[in-house]
A and B are shown apart, each in its own frame.
Chain A
């Protein structure tokens, strides 16, 4: 993975840029000492590290606007950052770029229960929103596993999901509006407490834009009333195929569970060794199916799920009898990443999505790849929506293993695309999958996406080097080859 060569002219102007930023954000909001910038050198994709040119931590929208206007006028690159938990390197700094941290935007501005929404600053953590509204029985639905740490601004940029998103949607389905600052300092408000902003659905493209279109400075989210009851059932299967069939049969029966997670044998064992959740060790695939809603509904559906599982060859079946047991079922799944961290010095968390019915084939080929590369792999899987998280085990201290792990990961993602899936279901492209984009998109597809970027950021100053494998100048992208000619297909019927 190569990042664009740092701009020497910008590096040479560092002191001047620091001074200009200090004029905008006084006091400790501008960090330029290398040892103090160290915490910002990477995000959750720790294989890549770069010290930023400068870190700036504004606390008002006006400051963000002034910083961006300055950077635009001086052609300085900017990388926005929330909590730095991105697993795709979206917040990886640039040596010649300002890292714009939004940690000081940490206030809940307005909670409007009657209209069922909350207005928060982007640095509020995902779980912080729920914490602010839970005394009235509300919560914010999208629940990435990183929810204690990750920010709503980062969630917006990545369109993050979680185990409950099959039923309750991703970030994009739960955000009503944003305030955003463009690279030239323009402050925009899009959406609000009402549904469906008028005109082009700019909110729809800002969400999931990985910090490339603007800096989000305020977010209005939907809040929901917590379901009355949640119960989980643990199901063990002799093959991943039977587990996959069971998932299809549950959905085919018209049941959309609150959560439906699958783990393969290596993941089950790692999790069980770590948290002793009581998972069966002698199955090839484990499903956790959670039903939520009114007690009568949950009791009714859990019986149906059990019957479907039995019909699909489940060899193990346990229903949570109380809240403690339900949480215990989840404890293993939620600890899957650290559990794998215990059995391997390093691991890569991949994030492809596949059409679910291709699962057995994908797992078989993944096993073959694992043998080819000589690296282990454990799979956790948002089974309902086909989002795979293969965890590739490697040891960065062994020469060549990082590269092997990356190649293995790339092969898995290409496989996902080959069977009709995508490179990333929720973690974003970032730098990690950037060079794989041509596996999924043609050059025309990618150029069209980059033209949209030009509408927001014509000089390509916001988070460059992420998402797109090749940078093009907007002027070049805007060119058109025009062939004058006859009216097409003169033989077609006209009216």
Chain B
């Protein structure tokens, strides 16, 4: 049972980190704690809880900018944005249920620190593409800031990008500033039924290389479709390949028609209108198929889009589906002490590049299996030096990413 500190001011936050530095005692950094189960298993005696830094401090819709404390709930942010017809364009999902936590409890810090992004990643970028700035405390126990509140800025190194995907190992944020964007008026999806994985990848590539501004493309093999809320998908009884278009009404209707015509040769084609589309893609952002299969160990693989099916084909025991036009593969596997890491990573390596992250497995497995893609010696050494430059005593989430980082 670790001792928890919950500072309420920036100075207290600094003091807490400075104390840990002096004592050389590692801290676990949490905002709402729903993603504690992500990453390597750590040993820390103290927890630094930043949930007191909560709430939206700046929102200027026509400047496309928002600032919020790290503990602000994603749900609160999404509600504030929806009231102005805006959204986080990188479409972060709620991974709570996926990780055995309740829904609707995740914080904005968790989204940025873990660089979470949903289906729109392939068009609009990830969390890293939308963060603009932060304020916080480095592992040296110093208050500092980086970036700004304007959407276009190249002044100094882009440290906010480094904050994303650092999993709290470099800086404890007290405020995050990020870009927000208009929500589309309409959202339609074209569904193609019954394709095998490789054909689906070709269909998605064809859609993506069309001028129709596809904003998401996913392929669900037949076994995966049963749990979906939208009846068109749930009752398809076959694999479903889904291609999304968004924007002003007339444009969406037009592009939906064009895509249907373009893809008709692949198989039976259906469409989802806005209401159904929003529900369907939200379920994909939340990785709902695997939230419903808590028994499985879960891998998240990023490869070149056409390589997705190649990875899946190399793992006959896997349950899987594809997002990002094939480039993102969610792989569920029956529990094993090594989480099938060698097989998964060999399958990724065989495609020539990419990475595999163990998203869900028991703590003892995540303590021994490399959760994040192992790096070559040069990259690992550089990563360690980067860690040292922010957190020389290793007090912020040490070992969460890699041994020593």
Contact = CB atoms under 8 A, between A and B. Distances in A.
Nearest to B208: A116
A296 B150 contact: no
Given A452-B386, A480-B21, A437 B375 contact: no
Interface stretch (A70-78, A96-104, A395-403, A419-427): A419-427
A159 B148 contact: no
B97 interface: no
Nearest to B179: A385
Interface in A162-183: 165-166, 169-170, 172-173, 182
Given A249-B62, A449-B159, A494-B5, A488 B153 contact: no
Contact of B159 (A116, A256, A448): A448
Contacts of B306: 114-115
B304 A193 contact: yes
B44 interface: no
A128 interface: no
B219 interface: no
A199 B152 contact: no
B158 A205 contact: yes
A22 B313 CA distance: 51
B275 interface: no
A425 B138 contact: no
Contact of A200 (B5, B302, B383, B392): B383
A382 interface: yes
Contacts of A192: 304, 352-354
B255 A489 contact: no
B154 A251 contact: no
Interface string B381-405: 0110111111011000000011001
A33 to B, nearest CB: 35
Contacts of A485: 19, 22
Among A256, A426, A455: residue with most chain B CB under 10 A: A455
A39 interface: no
The A interface is mostly helix, strand or loop, or mixed, namely loop
B45 to A, nearest CB: 12
B353 A173 contact: no
B165 A199 contact: yes
Nearest to B126: A196
Given A424-B155, A449-B157, A480-B140, A293 B121 contact: no
A115 B146 contact: no
Contacts of A114: 205, 209, 305-306
B271 interface: no
Interface stretch (B6-14, B70-78, B261-269, B335-343): B6-14
A171 to B, nearest CB: 9
B102 interface: no
The B interface is mostly helix, strand or loop, or mixed, namely mixed
B317 interface: no
A426 B209 contact: no
A250 B8 CA distance: 39
B209 A483 contact: no
A480 B392 contact: yes
Interface string B91-116: 00000000000000000000000010
B310 interface: no
A138 B210 CA distance: 10
B282 to A, nearest CB: 20
Nearest to A433: B155
B165 A425 contact: no
Interface in A433-469: 433, 437, 440-442, 444-446, 448-449, 451-456, 467
B67 to A, nearest CB: 11
A195 B122 contact: yes
Contact of B156 (A188, A202, A454, A467): A467
Interface stretch (A40-48, A55-63, A351-359): A351-359
Contacts of A27: none
B364 interface: no
Interface in A203-227: 203-205, 207-209, 225-227
A494 B390 CA distance: 27
A495 B142 contact: no
B204 to A, nearest CB: 10
Among A199, A202, A448, A484: residue with most chain B CB under 10 A: A199
A158 interface: yes
A475 interface: no
Contact of B164 (A201, A255, A256, A493): A201
A59 B26 CA distance: 47
B128 interface: yes
A296 B357 CA distance: 42
A301 B143 CA distance: 45
B6 A297 contact: no
Q: What interface size band does chain B fall in?
A: 35 or more
Contacts of B386: 200, 202, 452, 455
A300 interface: yes
B16 interface: yes
Interface in A252-282: 252-256
A226 B212 CA distance: 10
B278 interface: no
Contact of B327 (A112, A166, A194): A194
Among B150, B254, B324: residue with most chain A CB under 10 A: B150
A194 B8 CA distance: 40
Contacts of B401: 199-200
Interface in B350-376: 352-355, 357, 372-373, 375
A386 B63 contact: yes
B89 to A, nearest CB: 10
Contact of B19 (A188, A194, A209, A487): A487
Interface stretch (B188-196, B229-237, B244-252, B283-291): B244-252
B182 interface: yes
A248 interface: yes
Nearest to A413: B155
A201 B372 contact: no
B61 interface: yes
Contacts of A449: 146, 156-157, 159
Given A194-B355, A420-B150, A199 B375 contact: yes
Interface in B131-156: 138, 140, 142-146, 148-156
Given A193-B304, A194-B354, A385 B152 contact: yes
A212 to B, nearest CB: 8
A6 interface: no
Nearest to A158: B154
Nearest to B9: A489
A444 B141 CA distance: 11
A487 B211 CA distance: 60
B295 interface: no
A353 B154 CA distance: 10
Given A188-B379, A198-B355, A357 B152 contact: no
A285 B388 CA distance: 50
A173 B164 contact: no
Contacts of A197: 355
B233 to A, nearest CB: 24
Contacts of A489: 5, 7, 12, 15-16
A479 to B, nearest CB: 10
B328 A195 contact: yes
A161 interface: yes
B270 interface: no
A487 B25 CA distance: 11
A369 to B, nearest CB: 21
Contact of B209 (A113, A172, A201, A427): A113
12 contacts: A170-B152, A188-B379, A198-B357, A201-B164, A204-B158, A251-B64, A297-B254, A300-B248, A353-B153, A429-B156, A448-B390, A485-B22
Given A386-B63, A429-B155, 16 more contacts: A170-B152, A188-B379, A192-B354, A193-B303, A194-B303, A194-B355, A195-B302, A199-B165, A199-B405, A200-B401, A294-B251, A296-B251, A355-B60, A455-B382, A455-B385, A488-B16
The 5 tightest CB contacts between A and B, nearest first, are: A204-B161, A297-B251, A254-B182, A193-B304, A455-B385
